[in-house]
Structures are given as structure tokens and as C-alpha cells.
Amino acid sequence: MIIDEDAKYIDFIKNIYENSKVGIFVLDPQFKVIWINRAIEKYFGIKREEIVGKDKRRIIKRHIQYTSPNSENYNQRIKTSGINDFSARDIICHILPSDKRKEYWLEYCSQPIKSGRYAGGRIEQYIDITDYKKTEKRNSEYVKELEIISEMAVNLIRYSDIDHICHYIGQKIYEMCDKSYVMVTLFDRESEKIYIKDYFGLDRYLKSIMKIAPKDPRKMGYSPEDMTEEEKKIFTSHKLEVVTGGLYALSTRKIPMNISHLIENILGVKKIYTIGFALENIPYGGVIILSRREVPITYKSAIELMVSYASLIMNRLQAEEALKKSRQEFISIFKNSPEAAVYMDKKGRIVDINSRFTKVFGYTLKEIKGKNINCGIIHPPSKTEEGKKIDKRVLTEGYVSIETIRKRKDGTLFPVLITSSSVKLVGEFKGLVSLYQDITERKKSAERIRKTLESTINIIVKVVEFRDPYTAGHQQRVSRLATAIAKKLGLSEDKQEAIRITCLVHDVGKINIPSEILNKPGKLSNEEFGLIKEHPRTGYDILKTMEFPWPIAEIVYQHHEKYNGTGYPQGLSGKQTLLEARIIQVAGVVDAMSSHRPYRPALSIDKTLEEISQNKGILYDPEIVDTCLELFRKEEFNF
């Protein structure tokens, strides 16, 4: 009875091991296989009868890729026969897939048999951790996608032109997609067609394509109206879709069909993915990925979000109003922003800040969380109301950008560029995000440049006035009047400054005119007047090599043109002439006529204003003339 009971117990134990999900090897002292269970057969794709009596180490070499950090040491020891008295645990191994088995990740442990029939041998166990490793891989990919998205959000916001955006997303996707070629297509407003804007990894292949195509495929486009409804759906969904055919991948219906053969065979393309840019649900380009792999693209979500972000930014560049509605999606991801960022709830209470905010303002989140941003934390007393107004503008307009002053924790004031945007989730308003860029150095640099520029301008003014004493003060007076007109017209402070500076040098070209002509008391001959008419061109040639933040050389070139095209030296008319030049035309005439000249006495200001009024819309821009008249007659402007 005892023997029967022992036999049943042994059968019971064997049955447990046989059906266990833990794979079990039993090895003799020479590492030859004595027994394996069904789990080992499943994991390795082998049969018990095929490997019993064979060296297990060769099976390892054929089927397993060890990935544990300590595996190299173990491999070396396990390959050395006779060393069989050590234990190994927590070694991760990778079962490579084949036609007989799936891919598995196993946790391996091994220990010696120290007594009994198989003493000196080993028992080795393999625990299936495939699901864990897949989850780990997904989590790793998810973290990587978040890193990509965070980096992309910060970088894309910095770009202010579509060319850089297209190149950036094309380059990033090319780096993310192993064994792939990438093309970026874009709608060209001038020709109203979609073209290949940029490409990556295709340099040497495009030459082959161009031999087949009647034209350079990079310059061959098609109209969005030519797209089928299915194609439009792909390009407006912001989803990465698999498409078929090299013809479609090259974004043109004019390339011969044999290019499809070239793409599939010479480039080795297995799958083609497309994701489009859309403006108000109308396709205007996209990203095309030519993949040489059968497996799906890894960072699909990140690519979709990247292209979606890029599409929104390009919408902003093509329509500023679209920016105000969509920019919040980019500002929401602010933790890695290079600027100080703060997130506030609907009532303006601080919810979160980034590390840059702490560095710039000196506050930690613990110190200010829950406090209202406008309660004086970062506002000097004179700017508290301004902060409230900014928040109100964001609520109504969705986006505000303003240069102003803010306060650090230690009380010091500094200049900042504030960019604020509303945050919406599924169309519901959630709060505000504000970015604070410390522009102290920029302001200092701008001031240094301004002083240098001012000194240079003053030198030029002195030289011109020395050559032509009768026009002494002319440029300053023109500057005052032209700047007043610009301000009255509502031009920005930057444009007003451009006009002020240009007026101070607008007659620099007279340096090239002989003094006897400039100071001649009588009427000028045709030849002499011809020299006078060249001074705008000469001024342009002098100034075009100097670096100004405004088109000063072009304005000087145009300051003697007339509204009807009868001016000189280019004969421009209407709005062919820059607005700044049209303003200086009127201001220059008013001062010249009302000032003494060698060849005539000064006219009264009334006579001068009558002259420009009579020629309004003929020689001079009518809106500018009306503004000038209003300054003198209603606001009593004087030089």
C-alpha cells in the first residue's frame, strides 16, 4: 500500500510539472537533456523526443538571445563543461520567433541537483513574462512618444515660417521611422497646386525617378480639387493611413505608372503611409512615409500628433485668426518650455508652473499654488490692472502677446514678453496658460544697437547738412511731421520709428551732387536737374549695404515717386510705393515749400497746404494728405 501511495504521489508530481506553465528542463551533469515539460515544447518550438539526450547548450545557441545584464557571465560559465555547482536567477532571455513558435520573453533560473539519481545535473525553469515585456515595451514607447511630443511642442512653437516647420517634421519623422523614406508635400498658393516641399533619404533615388518622369517630380503638383473623396478623407483626418501605389505616394497624377515599379523594387518599399495637413477641412499637403518594413510604424500616435500640431501652426501662419483659436493646444504642453510657464484655472488661480518659472521669478509651486496670478505675486503695483485686462482679452480673443514689466520674488523688476492662451479640452474652457520670456538682454542689446544707429544717423545728417546748408534742419522737420502723420494713421511704434530714422537720412544721396548745384540761386538746367533726380538712387546705393531693422534703403529710393506715377527715379504709382515712402513724400513737400530755398522764398503754410490739397489723389496719397491737413488745421501742428 505504501509503495502504491508513493507511486501515485510521484505520478501526481509529474502531472503537475508536465502541465505547468513554467517551462522545465532536467539536465544531467554533462548538460544533456533528460526531460522537458510541455511548456518548454511550446516556448522553444521543439519536441521532447527530438532533444532528449542532446546538449542543451546548443539549443540555447540556436533559440535564445540572452538580454540580462548578467547573462554574458552566465553564458561563459554554462559553456564551460564541468562547472555545474552554481545557481542562476532572474536572467531574462528572448526566444526568437520562427515558423514553429511565437516570440517569447522568459525569466530564467537554474540550480544544481545535489542528491539522488541525477545528482550533479541541473533543473532549469523558464517563466513566461511575454505580456509583461510587451507592456513594458508599450510603456517605454509611450514615454518616448511623450518625450517626442514635448520636444516637438516646444520646438514647433518657435518656428515662424512654413519652410522650417516642413523641414523639422520631415526630419523628425525620418529619424523616428527606421528604414523609411519621408516626403513632405505642401499647397502652393501661387500655383494652387500641391508639391513635394522636402524629402529625406531619397537624394540618390530621385535621379532615377526623374529619368522616368517627364519633369522633376519635386516640381510636379496637383490641385486639391483633383483629389478623390477617399483621398480628401485621408488628408483631413489627421490619422496615419496606409495607402497603395507609388503613383499616389509621389503626390501627382502626371508621373508614369512605371514609377510605382521603381518605388516597390528599387527603393524596396513595403508600405506607404500618408497623413495630411488640412486648412478648414481642405487638404493642403501632408507627410508621406515610404516604409521598407512590413511591421507597422512604432510611433504612430506621436507622428499623428506632430503633423496635427504642425498643421495647426501652419494654419496660424496663413491666417492669424486661426492661431488665436488653436494655439492653446501647443501651450498646454508647457513643462519643458524654455520660457517661464504658468497654468491657471478659470478664476485665475495658479494650478501649476514649470521649473523655468521658478528660476525666473524665484517662487516654488508650493509657495504660490492656489493664489490668484493677479494678486501682486509677479506684478508691480502699477501693472495689476494690466494683468486682469490680459486675462479678459484671452477669454474673449483666445490669445494675447504683449511686452511689459513683471516682478521677481526679491522685488526686482524686469522686462518680459508675455504670451497667454486659453486652454480648451473637447471644446470646454479649462483655464489659461501664460509664457513669460525674460527679454532683459534683448532690451539691452536693442538699446545698444539703437544708440549706435542713432550715432551713425547723426553723422550722416551732419554730412548732408554741411554739403547743403539751405536744407539744414529739413530732414529733422520732415521727420517730425512724417512721424506725426504715421501716428495719426495708427501705424505701430516700430513703423513710426522706421519713418523717423528714414527721414533723417532721406537726402543722403545729395552727397554726390556738386555744392554749386545744391546752392545755385537760379533755375537749374536740364542736366543739373538730372543730377538732382539721381539722389534717391545714390541714397539707396549708400544705405543698402547698412544693416537696419527696416527697409530704409528702399524707402529712400522711393521718396520722390508720385501717386500717379510721374515721380522719379522709378516712376512708381499708387501702392507700388511703400506706405512709409508715400508719407515722407507728403511731409517732404510740405517742409520744402514752406522753407526758404536759394531759388525762391518760403511759401506760407496755408499756400503749402492748398498745394497738397489740390493734388490729393494725383501726386499724393489722398489718405495721407487728409491726415496731414487735419494735423495742421485741427490739431495746430507746427515744426
Per-residue model confidence (pLDDT) at position 581: 95
Residues 101-150: pLDDT tens digits? Answer: 788 888 888 888 888 787 888 888 888 888 888 887 777 777 777 777 77
Angular region, 82: left φ>0, alpha ψ -120 to 50, beta rest:
left
Per-residue model confidence (pLDDT) at position 483: 94
Q: State yes or no: pLDDT of 333 exceeds 80.
A: no
Per-residue model confidence (pLDDT) at position 623: 95
Most confident of 21-25, 117-121, 256-260, 513-517: 21-25
Most confident of 87-91, 441-445, 541-545: 541-545
Per-residue model confidence (pLDDT) at position 76: 53
Residues 513-558: pLDDT tens digits? Answer: 887 777 777 788 888 888 888 899 998 998 888 888 899 999 999 9
Per-residue model confidence (pLDDT) at position 207: 47
| Torsion from C-alpha of 206, 208, 212, 213, nearest 10 degrees | 10
Determine the average pLDDT of the residues in 238-256.
47
> For residue 50, how far is the Cα from the chain centroid?
59
Per-residue model confidence (pLDDT) at position 85: 62
Per-residue model confidence (pLDDT) at position 248: 42
Residues 577-627: pLDDT tens digits? Answer: 999 999 999 999 999 898 877 777 888 888 999 999 999 999 999 999 999
Per-residue model confidence (pLDDT) at position 250: 41
- Spatial separation of the C-alpha atoms in residues 157 and 330, rounded to whole Å: 7
What is the rounded end-to-end Cα distance, in angstroms, of the chain? 128
Q: Is the peptide bond before 569 cis (omega within 30 degrees of 0)?
A: yes
Report whether 250 contacts 217 (CB < 8 A).
yes
- Spatial separation of the C-alpha atoms in residues 196 and 411, rounded to whole Å: 53
- Spatial separation of the C-alpha atoms in residues 99 and 53, rounded to whole Å: 24
Per-residue model confidence (pLDDT) at position 118: 79
Q: Would you tell me how many other CB atoms lie within 10 Å of the CB of residue 186? A: 22
253-267, 377-391, 395-409, 514-528: range with lowest mean pLDDT: 253-267
Per-residue model confidence (pLDDT) at position 348: 85
For residue 248, what are the CA distances in angstroms to 171, 227, 257, 535? 21, 10, 10, 57
Q: State yes or no: pLDDT of 375 exceeds 90.
A: no
Domains in the chain, ordered, with CATH?
16-128 (3.30.450.20), 138-326 (3.30.450.40), 339-438 (3.30.450.20), 456-633 (1.10.3210.10)
Considering only residues 402 and 139, tell me which one the structure prediction assigns the higher pLDDT.
Answer: 402
Per-residue model confidence (pLDDT) at position 434: 85
81: nearest Cα among 24, 34, 27: 27
Considering only residues 310 and 215, tell me which one the structure prediction assigns the higher pLDDT.
Answer: 310
Banded pLDDT at 572 (limits 50, 70, 90)? very high
What's the CA angle centered on 20, arms 18 and 22, to 5 degrees? Answer: 115
Residue 410: φ, ψ to 5° = -80, 5
* DSSP class of 568: S
Considering only residues 490 and 185, tell me which one the structure prediction assigns the higher pLDDT.
Answer: 490
Report whether 545 contacts 523 (CB < 8 A).
no
Please, which residues have CB within 8 angstroms of residue 93's CB and are 6 or more apart in sequence? 64, 65, 66, 67, 68, 71, 105, 106, 107, 108, 126
E-state strands within 386-479: 399-407, 413-425, 428-438
Considering only residues 399 and 413, tell me which one the structure prediction assigns the higher pLDDT.
Answer: 413
- Spatial separation of the C-alpha atoms in residues 28 and 14, rounded to whole Å: 18
Q: Which helix (H) or strand (E) holds 95?
A: strand 88-95
Chain position carrying cell 511623450: 146
User: What is the overall mean pLDDT for the chain?
Assistant: 77
Chain position carrying cell 494652387: 192
Percent over 70 (pLDDT), the chain: 76
